[in-house]
Amino acid sequence: MTAPPLPADLHGPLLEQTGAFQGNALLLTGPARVGKLDVARAVAAQHNCSGARGPYGEACGTCPSCRALAAGGHPDVLLVEPRATTTTGKAARRRLIPIGAVLSARDKAREYETHVFEFLEVRPTFARRVVIVAGAEYLGPEAANALLKLVEEPPHRALFVFLAEDRRSVLPTIVSRSARLSVTPAPDHALQRALERAGHPPDPDLIAFAAGRAGVLGDPAKVSAALGDARDLTDALGDGLLAALQAAEALEKRFDPGWHPEALRFVWRTLPPHQRARADSALNALQEALEAYASPSLSFQVFALALRGALGHA
């Protein structure tokens, strides 16, 4: 599958509400990977589409604006996310959307290519400029205050779409100025249907792992690979110390912090509670070591040894 399933397949009733929205700001909340970003992009498409709308008011998908959004280069849509790396290129230890994301003059390290204030100074190419803030709970106070001024009087009728897992973690000033909508998990049959429409073969394990979160289906091959790696490591733990260390070395080379930790916990879900708790502690220790820039090779070896002990193979 080369693209996420259409949000209308899974969040049609929600798009009925967003398509008619005429305010300045939306706050979409829901669990991680539930599909909030896909819905936000669908909202941006709705508000710039010039073609015939679908049954839920979703964008046509074929007009010039929709084609630009599908290609990933829409001139009227800006995605703002927390810093993923430090200025030295290492993974950021603390997720934050700083004031520099809003004002170019405050972005001394040039961490953001496009800044919100300057982006909104330009008139829309199509109908409406849309700023998607993915991770509104990570807005620093300065950034939030700067955004509030823009939200209250957005240039050229711009629309802000804030995304967060929990509304309570978002600054009250942002919440109070936004219309609030929940993005809820979809039924398994809807996820399976979306996979089939995208040409992906049936995969009950993937659907079980997704647990209603449409965002998991954005890259099913990567998720399936992470699940396979998790099973390989877990199976190797009982085959002896050498096999466990070799499996840990293989996992290190492919480790994706966005998918592998969750895949491992999914594979461990059938373990007895005491083993699952000890395995989870070992995984937490691995993640902390990697975040502290410890030696990855040594960290994964220690992880394998700890897992063997947790599962009673030591």
- DSSP secondary structure string for all residues of the chain: --SPPPHHHHHHHHHHHHHT--SSEEEEE-STTSSHHHHHHHHHHHTT--S---TTS---S-SHHHHHHHTT--TTEEEE----B-TTSSBPSS--B-GGGT-GGG-TT---SS-HHHHHHSPPSSS--EEEEE-GGGB-HHHHHHHHHHHHS-GGG-EEEEEES-GGGS-HHHHHTSEEEE-PPPPHHHHHHHHHHTTPPP-HHHHHHHTT-GGGGGSHHHHHHHHHHHHHHHHHGGG-HHHHHHHHHHHHHH--TTTHHHHHHHHGGGS-HHHHHHHHHHHHHHHHHHHTT--HHHHHHHHHHHHHHHTT--
- pLDDT tens for residues 192-230? 888 888 788 888 999 999 999 988 988 888 999 999 999
Query: Would the pLDDT of 68 be above 90?
Result: yes
Say which residues have a Cβ less than 8 Å from residue 36's Cβ, sequence separation at least 6: 28, 29, 30, 134, 163, 183, 215
In this prediction, residue 10 carries a pLDDT of 84
Q: How high does pLDDT run on average in the chain?
A: 91
- pLDDT tens for residues 232-285? 999 999 999 999 999 999 999 999 999 999 999 999 999 999 999 999 999 999
Tokens of 143: 């950034």
Query: Would the pLDDT of 306 be above 70?
Result: yes
- pLDDT tens for residues 85-107? 545 455 555 689 999 999 999 99
- Range with lowest mean pLDDT among 1-5, 9-13, 36-40, 282-286: 1-5
Tokens of 5: 């399933």
- pLDDT tens for residues 163-173? 999 999 999 99
Closest CA to 214 of 227, 230, 198: 198
In this prediction, residue 157 carries a pLDDT of 93
% of the chain at pLDDT higher than 70: 95
How far, in Å, CA of 11 to CA of 112, rounded?
31
b/e 231-267 (16+ beta carbons within 10 angstroms → b): eebbebbeeeeeebbebbeebbeebeeebbbbbbebb
